[in-house]
Amino acid sequence: MNFKNQVILITGGAAGIGKSTAQAFNKLGGTVVIWDLNEEAGNALVKEFGNGLFQKVDVTNYEEVGESIQKIIEAYGKIDVLINNAGITMDKTLKNMDPATWQKVIDVNLTGVFNCTQQVVPFMLEVQKGVILNASSVVGLYGNFGQTNYVATKAGVIGMTKTWARELGRKGIRVNAVAPGFIATEMVQLMPEKIIEQMVSKTPLARMGKPEDIANAYTFLASENASFITGTVLSVDGGVIS
């Protein structure tokens, strides 16, 4: 669990689970590159670390992603770990979901993961080593009311994870997904108390997860302790789908 001399790229890394993940890798000695649209939060986090890099990147923009990756390579010479954490929700029932709402979530949560991974992988192939970790969700495994677009992306991420694990395994690159359950991020904590109570009631461990719980899963899967794990989906959900 030592990431000294490793470069970890985390999309959506300025807040919530992404922020906790960035902090976890930093504490374990890694050089963290944070991608986010929130410049203030991203720069503050890098300042807190005293090293690493923040880049304002829209993961839906293929060219912008490629240019930003090139700058990382120029600065550090490599990317050891990619964590595709960036994601959004725009919830509506099927009846009320307009095409624009559908497409926006697909663009960020699914196409964004493709854009980042497809352009990072060539640099991992050069050294025959690397780790790719994708943010799915328990709802990608069992569905959820009012989240047709979000569920579709998180199920799609699982499919891509398993495909890439098969394609890249012989090249020394491991690919896994993490499926968080109900996690007490800043966004969730702003929800009505009644909704939060419902989330807790569905969780056998009788609490919401912490962002650190997901960060710990990412650091484990990125480490040599997980060197024989690829193509898997690790549910970190307090038993929701047990």
CATH of the domain at 89: 3.40.50.720
What number is the average pLDDT over the span 55-78? 98
pLDDT of residue 129 exceeding 90, the answer is: yes
Instruction: Select which of 62, 76, 142, 150 is catalytic.
Output: 150
In a domain, 110, yes or no: yes
Distance between CA atoms of residues 202 and 170, nearest Å? 40
Q: Which residues contact 39 (CB under 8 A, 6 or more apart)?
A: 54, 56
pLDDT at residue 120, rounded to an integer: 98
Question: What are the tens digits of pLDDT across the range 95-114?
Answer: 999 999 999 999 999 999 99
How many domains is the chain built from? 1
Q: Is residue 194 part of a domain?
A: no
pLDDT band at 216 (very low <50, low <70, confident <90, very high): very high
Q: Does residue 142 fall inside a structural domain?
A: yes
Determine if residue 135 is left, alpha or beta; phi over 0 gives left, psi from -120 to 50 gives alpha, anything else beta.
beta
Cα–Cα distance measured from residue 34 to residue 97, given in angstroms and rounded to the nearest whole number: 32
Full residue range of the structural domain in which residue 136 is found: 7-181+210-233
- With a pLDDT cut of 90, the percent of the chain lying above it is 88
Predicted local distance difference test score (pLDDT) of residue 44: 98
Whether 239 is in a domain gets the answer: no
Alpha-carbon span 14 to 23, nearest angstrom:
10
Confidence category of residue 242, pLDDT binned at 50, 70, 90: low
Q: Is the pLDDT of residue 236 over 90?
A: yes
Indicate the pTM of the whole model. Answer: 0.95
Instruction: Answer whether residue 187 is part of any domain.
Output: no
88 within a domain of the structure (yes/no): yes
Predicted pLDDT of residue 185:
85
- Secondary structure (DSSP) of 179-211: EE-SB--HHHHTS-HHHHHHHHHT-TTSSPBPH
Which band of pLDDT confidence, cut at 50, 70 and 90, is reported for residue 62? very high
Q: Does 68 reside within a domain?
A: yes
Residue 125 lies in a domain: yes
| Lowest-confidence pick of 26-30, 61-65, 201-205 | 201-205
Q: Is 76 a catalytic residue?
A: no
